């Protein structure tokens, strides 16, 4: 049947109107709200609403950025918008007249090392496909690293550095990277507690006992990383070492970075993450100056001896009360990992500059 142009235009207009109305109504229906209670954090709030906190962490912040303290902390008594529950399908309508839908499964990969609640990693992008990252958290095994007390309990550097490292690994995997977690604890996984229990069962990749002697421990890590580097020769490779410093109780420090003095790519990696932190502080804490630095520090054993371009990160002073909040709060640990990962993405986008080391 040959409809007039005017009639077809009116029909098309009605279709667009109803489609727009349906999408708008659907969007409003899928956004829930909830009032934060005292003690709630983003992770716990999402979990209580049945939403995977790690897959929707960024979505929550985007929805509520104007209602968060320092971009990551909730205010008790305020109302927050909750992202829609996990979706594992995507509907595609081929034409405006079509009523059929094509369903596409979004499948994640399982990594038990992250713990039962977070072992499934859903893909975010393929931006890091082909890139290899070696992640080393400080100390571990017989050496807990820097120690302090909080709430009458002992806290140790290796537990918090490891938790941040796991969160970073998860972010990098979600962007398609190949990731080696060099210091490993198969029992811990990602933990959302403030006080992380101290144990000594960490091993070195793939399952090597960590030596008691300090030089032997460092040499073991260097040998593992350099062996893997040789195996992956020709690929884009980076090493990230995470530590927590120990200084006087009154010394508050920002996150800072070291690199090898002769490594242009190591400097670029450290600078990319440093720039990301500067940008985040400027956006989320405009009244606070970020004083973290990046500089060469070849005297450090891992900086001097490892072959991949690398950065050595000091997250804070475990003895300082302000820095303890940065370390103990699981939302802060997640933010640290996310910001580091964004710096890593920037570094990868900029590519290699010679010489490779």
Q: What is the pLDDT of residue 199?
A: 97
Whether 113 and 97 map to the same domain: the answer is no
Tokens (6 digits) for 102: 């094509």
Residues 180 and 323 in one domain: yes
Q: How far apart are CA 6 and CA 173, in angstroms?
A: 53
Judged against a pLDDT cut of 50, whether residue 246 lies above it is answered with yes
Residues above pLDDT 90, as percent of the chain: 66
Within-domain flag for 23? no
Closest among 202, 128, 136, 200 to 164, alpha carbons compared = 136
Q: Which residues pair with 96 in a beta bridge?
A: none
The pLDDT assigned to 87 comes to 41
Q: What is the mean pLDDT of the chain?
A: 86
pLDDT for residue 12 is more than 80: no
At which of 63, 83, 103 does a domain end? 103
In a domain, 19, yes or no: no
Task: Report d(CA 300, CA 312) in Å as an integer.
Answer: 9
Sign of CA dihedral 48, 52, 54, 56: negative
Domain C-terminal end among 103, 136, 160: 103
Would you say residue 21 has pLDDT above 70? no
pLDDT value at 102 more than 50: no
Give the Cα separation of 11 and 14 in Å (integer): 5
- Residue 105 has a pLDDT of 58
Residue 91 has pLDDT above 50, yes or no: no
- Whether residue 171 is contained in a domain is answered as yes
Is residue 70 scored above 60 in pLDDT?
A: yes
What pTM value is reported for the model?
Answer: 0.79
* Whether residues 114 and 86 fall in one domain: no
**Are 46 and 193 part of one and the same domain?**
no
Both 77 and 126 in one domain: the answer is: no
Rg (CA), the chain: 23
On the CB side of 20, CA atoms within 13 Å amount to 6
- 187 secondary structure, DSSP code: T
- What CATH number is attached to the domain comprising 299? 3.40.630.40
Nearest residue to 183 (alpha-carbon basis) of 243, 127, 273, 231: 243
| Angstrom distance (rounded) from CA 142 to CA 211 | 7
Q: Are residues 95 and 199 in the same domain?
A: no
- The pLDDT assigned to 99 comes to 42
Specify if 97 maps to a domain.
yes
Q: Domain residues for 50?
A: 31-103
C-alpha span between 156 and 151 (Å, rounded): 13
- The tokens describing 165, both together, are 């490292």
Contact yes or no for 320/148 (Cβ under 8 A): no
Last residue of some domain: 88, 103, 118? 103
Residue 16 included in any domain: no
Whether residues 236 and 129 share a domain: the answer is yes
Q: Which residue has the tokens 């195996």?
A: 231
107-152: pLDDT as tens digits: 899 999 999 989 999 999 999 999 999 999 999 999 999 999 999 9
Residues 94 and 228 in one domain: no
Residue 328 lies in a domain: yes
| Closest among 246, 262, 118 to 189, alpha carbons compared | 118
pLDDT band at 86 (very low <50, low <70, confident <90, very high): very low
Contact of 51 with 32, CB cutoff 8 Å: no
Q: In terms of domains, do 168 and 299 share one?
A: yes
**What count of residues does the chain have?**
357
Q: Is residue 25 part of a domain?
A: no
149 lies in some domain: yes
Q: Are residues 163 and 210 in the same domain?
A: yes
Q: Are residues 141 and 252 in the same domain?
A: yes
Task: Look at residue 94 and tell me whether its pLDDT is greater than 60.
Answer: no
Which of 338, 324, 256 lies closest to 290 in space, CA to CA?
256
The torsion region of residue 240 among left (phi > 0), alpha (psi -120 to 50) and beta comes to beta
Residue 237 in contact with residue 229, Cβ under 8 Å? Answer: yes
- Residues 160-175 have pLDDT tens digits of 999 999 999 999 999 9
Residues 113, 91, single domain; the answer is no
Per-residue pLDDT at 69: 79
336-349 pLDDT tens trace: 999 999 999 999 99
pLDDT tens digits, 187-197: 999 999 999 99
Count how many domains the chain has.
2
Nearest to 324 by CA among 250, 274, 257, 241: 250
Tokens at residue 209, please?
Answer: 């006992």
Which whole number is the average pLDDT over 320-346?
A: 95
Phi/psi at 136 (nearest 5 deg)? Answer: -120, 115
Q: At what angle do helices 57-64 and 330-350 cross, to 10 degrees?
A: 100
């Amino acid at each position: 049947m040959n409809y007039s142009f005017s009639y077809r235009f009116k029909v098309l207009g009605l279709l667009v109107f109803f489609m727009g109305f349906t999408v708008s109504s659907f969007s409003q229906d899928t956004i829930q709200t909830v009032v934060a209670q005292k003690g709630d954090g983003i992770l716990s709030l999402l979990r209580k609403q049945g939403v995977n906190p790690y897959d929707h962490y960024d979505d929550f912040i985007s929805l509520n950025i104007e209602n968060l303290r320092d971009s990551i902390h909730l205010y008790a008594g305020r109302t927050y918008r909750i992202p829609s529950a996990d979706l594992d399908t995507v509907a595609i309508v081929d034409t405006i007249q079509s009523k059929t839908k094509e369903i596409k499964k979004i499948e994640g990969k399982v990594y038990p090392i992250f713990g039962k609640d977070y072992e499934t990693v859903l893909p975010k992008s393929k931006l890091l496909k082909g890139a290899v990252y070696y992640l080393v958290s400080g100390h571990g095994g017989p050496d807990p690293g820097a120690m302090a007390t909080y709430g009458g309990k002992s806290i140790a550097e290796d537990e918090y550095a490891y938790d941040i490292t796991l969160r970073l690994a998860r972010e990098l995997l979600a962007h398609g990277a190949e990731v080696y977690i060099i210091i490993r604890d198969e029992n811990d996984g990602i933990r959302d507690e403030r006080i992380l229990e101290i144990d000594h069962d960490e091993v070195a990749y793939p399952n090597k006992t960590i030596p008691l002697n300090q030089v032997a421990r460092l040499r073991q890590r260097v040998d593992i990383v350099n062996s893997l580097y040789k195996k992956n020769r020709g690929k884009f490779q980076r090493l990230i070492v995470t530590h927590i410093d120990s200084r006087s109780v009154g010394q508050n420090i920002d996150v800072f970075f070291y690199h090898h003095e002769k490594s242009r790519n190591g400097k670029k990696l450290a600078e990319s993450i440093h720039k990301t932190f500067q940008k985040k502080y400027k956006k989320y804490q405009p009244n606070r100056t970020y004083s973290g630095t990046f500089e060469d520090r070849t005297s450090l054993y891992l900086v001097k001896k490892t072959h991949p371009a690398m950065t050595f990160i000091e997250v804070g002073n475990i003895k300082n009360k302000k820095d303890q909040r940065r370390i103990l709060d699981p939302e802060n640990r997640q933010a640290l990992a996310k910001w580091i990962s964004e710096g890593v993405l920037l570094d990868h986008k900029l590519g290699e500059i010679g010489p490779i080391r």
